[in-house]
Structure formats: structure tokens, C-alpha cells
Structure 1
């Protein structure tokens, strides 16, 4: 049996709005799912809109200074190439044979995706192609920004009528970046799911929350604390038969 493969999509965006601060992808939100998946022999390929180097948010490095899984991931010669030499999304979009080996697509967070992946036509098309092929679509923290505007082949929103989670308004307020965002993710996700869907969140800000919907095909996590759980959910689904939904 061939080991499952996951396509990870990182941001190519590096500027945090008009704050003058750098941004990118959030270290622990890639490192912890990677740790879970790689330990189970799942192969990961990494892509980004621009390809090449994808910047990690410096604030996430500082936040993870006591997190050995994240620091080892950042500094290991075996994992550095994952984010130093990402493949451009254009290699996969509109190319069924390129995505055929993958069981899932996964979007780590960080504020970067709010600026590029949320509006990237290539990213949105790739998500639609994964979904149409019956594969898993997963994201954590700000990663669900990449899903919010995705339309399916029938013109409906991917998230319409679904249960999802993502970085909340309260959490954005607490990090003091609500005014720097192009939109508030919780608001955007609530709009996308509509009246028949549901935005779910932990009882308290920063609590772990992982939401699995669509028979296991849609997996979202709220915040950094949810990253490991998202990795575990991806692993559970891609190594067992999907429900029809």
C-alpha cells in the first residue's frame, strides 16, 4: 500500500497590512501537523502562490521558543527545504495528474493567508479541484481564509451550509491586529457558511477546537492550540474510508 500524501499550501505574503511588521505562516501550525503526519509515514509536498522561499512569521518563532517540535522543525536540515523551496501553485492547478497522488490539501495559518490565499484564483481553483476529486480539504487558524471564497463547480460556496472554525474575532482583538486585517476571519466564515451552516469555537479564546464536517472531507482548526488536532484529524481520515456526504 502506498503511503498517503498531503499537499501543504503556505502563504507568499510577507507584510502585515500597513503596520510595517513582517508576517508569513505560523510556525507551530505547520510544525505540529507535520510531526503527526510524518511520524505516520505520510509524505508532504509544499506549495505557495509564488513558489520558492515562504517566510515564517517571526512572531511565531518567538512564541515557539520553548516548543521543541516547532524549533526542531524550523532548524532541521531535513525540514528546511519544505519551506525554503516550495513549488508554485501553478504546477498543480488544472493538472489532474499532479494532484492525483494526494489525499488532502492543508493550509496552515499565520496572517499571510489573509492577504494572498484568501483571494488567489489559483488557490481557490486548486481547492475546488481537490474537493471535486473527493479529497480532504483542511486548514487551521487563519488558514481557513483560503477556503472562505472558494466556489464549487455549481457556483455555490464550498463552505455553504457547513460547520467550520477559524481564528476568532476575540483572538484577533487580543493580539491587537483586527484593524490591520483586510477582513475579520470569523465574520467572513460566518458569512460563507450562511444560515444553514455553523461557525464553532472553543468556550474560551485560545482553547483547542477542531471541527470535522462533510463526512471527514472538511477539517478546520481554530488557533495554534488546535494545530496538532488538525494533523491528527487529517491522518485519521486519510487512513480510513471516507463517509459519503
Structure 2
């Protein structure tokens, strides 16, 4: 439960995958899916820890960063922020994290997440503990790939019976990677009995089902962050 007398502590867990499996195509974190929520949380007075599956520097999908002045405002702000950039270059390994002090865990996307987040037993254990300790869990775009092996307090898949979204099958086909990713995220969430919903391709859409918050695509980053802060506020009033 969040204590409203102190700053919320939010753990953001990023991918460490630099390539798309065996095909070797460069991937990583989609920058805007980190930057927009990061500053939404900072501006709301939260304290942020950046972590990743392996720790150390986080790979950035080169398609998600342009010349300065051509990015989303949050991306340029992040690039200009020395503390934020330093944290991104020295993320904490998931295996070393005690989730106890945190109020929320947020998983940004990027195609890299499809490879290493579902394979991480440490991440699955961390998210399972976070849920059983009544923390808010949020993910955007491909970030929900990190939820697929997490469990709720009954031992069922965390997403089972809960409203969720994530990068849709039609969006994956639109970017031409439906045969490259190890699984289709929408299909996997449905397979786990998640109550999958989505909006139009590449338009903002996010859902809060209690303490579980998910966003569909990069355009959903701001709304996902807003719903995460809302979920934290609700928890703090209980």
C-alpha cells in the first residue's frame, strides 16, 4: 500500500536484448516508452529506479531516436537530463533487486522485451511478489511480455481474468515482424485467459484493471503513466 506521506517509489525494468533473436536485427528499448512515463512520474514527485534484465547500459532501438529536435519532447528532455542518462547507462540488474520498498513496477516496451523479459525467472518472481504485496504493476506496448510468467496470489497467471492490452497482432503485422517475434503478444495474453482489449492500430489505448495497468503501443505511454499514477493514488487511500 502506498504511503501518501512520502514519495512514491517506482521501479522501471527495461530490456537488455540488443538483437531480435537469431536474425540479428538491432532492437532494444523503445525510447519514448521510457521517457514519457519517466517524466510523468518525476513530475508527479515520484522517485525512480531504472533496472534491466542484465543490468548496465540499456540498448536503445535506433529507430526510436532521431536528431535532437525531431523526437517526442520527453525523449529530448531525457537526452538532456544528465541524471536520467547516467541511470540509463548503469541500470540495476533485476537479480539484485528487493521489490519490497517499491510502490509500483513499470515495464516499458521495445521489441527487445519479447526476447528477454519472458525468459527471466527473476523478473517473473519479482512481479509475482510485487502483486502479492499489493503493488501496482504497469506495462506498455511490448512491455506486457514481461507479465506472461508472473502469477497472482492464487498461483494463476497474473493476467488471467483481468482486462489487459498490449501490442496487437494487427500492429505486429503492420510493422512486418509477426514472423520474427517469438510469439504474438495479443495471442499470448489471450492464451493466458487475459481479457484482451485494444483500440485502433497505433492510437492511444490503455486499461487499468485495479492494480494492473497496461497500454497498447508507443502512443499509449502517457495514458499508461497517468493510469499508473491514478492506481497508486487509489492504493494510497486504502
Shorter-chain TM-score: what band? over 0.9
Other-structure match for 1:163: 163
In structure 1, the residue matched to 2:16 is 12
SS at match of 2:131: helix
Please tell me whether residue 77 in structure 1 is matched to residue 73 in structure 2.
Answer: no
In the other structure, the counterpart of 1:218 is 212
CA distance in 2 between counterparts of 1:36 and 1:15 reads 29
Residues 106 and 138, structure 2, Cα contact 8 Å, conserved in 1: yes
2:37 matches 1:33: yes
Question: How far apart, in 2, do the equivalents of 1:63 and 1:144 lie?
Answer: 29
Is the CA contact (8 Å cut-off) linking 1:55 and 1:83 kept in structure 2? no
How many positions carry a matched residue from both structures? 233
Deviation at 1:243, TM superposition (A): 8.5
CA distance in structure 1 between the partners assigned to 2:173 and 2:67 by the alignment: 18
Give the Cα–Cα distance (whole angstroms) in 1 for the partners of residues 82 and 236 of structure 2.
35
Preserved CA contact (<8 Å) 1:15 1:22: yes
- Residues of 2 paired with 1:86 and 1:20: CA distance? 23
- In 2, the alpha carbon distance for the partners of 1:180 and 1:83 equals 27
Q: Give the conservation status (yes or no) of the 8 Å contact 2:13–2:52.
A: yes
Asked if the contact 2:142/2:185 (under 8 Å) is kept, the reply is: yes
Q: Secondary structure at the match of 1:201?
A: coil
State the SS of the aligned residue for 1:51.
coil
State the TM-score, normalizing by the size of structure 1.
0.90
Unpaired segments of 5 or more residues in structure 1? 93-97
CA distance in 2, matches of 1:2, 1:155: 31
Residues 207, 227 of structure 2: 8 Å contact kept? no
**Maintained 8 Å contact 1:210/1:221:** yes
Summarize the alignment of residues 140-155 of structure 1 with structure 2, pairs less than 5 Å apart.
Answer: 140-152=140-152, 154-155=154-155
Note the aligned Cα RMSD (angstroms): 1.8
Alignment map for 1:1-245 (pairs within 5 Å): 1-62=5-66, 65-92=70-97, 98-152=98-152, 154-192=154-192, 194=193, 197-202=194-199, 204-213=200-209, 215=210, 217-241=211-235
Contact 1:73 1:80 in 2 (8 A): yes
| Residues 162 and 63 (structure 1), Cα distance of their counterparts in 2 relative to 1, 3 Å cut | farther
1:35-58: CA deviations, max 9, x gaps? 111011101001112111111111
Partners of 2:72 and 2:152 lie apart in 1 by: 38
Contact 1:140-1:222 at 8 Å conserved across structures: yes
* Structure 2: gaps spanning 5 or more residues: none
Conservation of the 8 A alpha-carbon contact between 2:160 and 2:195: no
Is the 1:27–1:74 Cα contact (8 Å) retained in structure 2? no
1:158-186 deviations in Å (ceiling 9; x for gaps): 11111100000111111111111000111
On the 8 A contact 1:24/1:111 being kept in 2, the answer is yes
Q: Report Cα offsets for 1:111-131 as digits up to 9, x if no partner.
A: 111001012100000000100
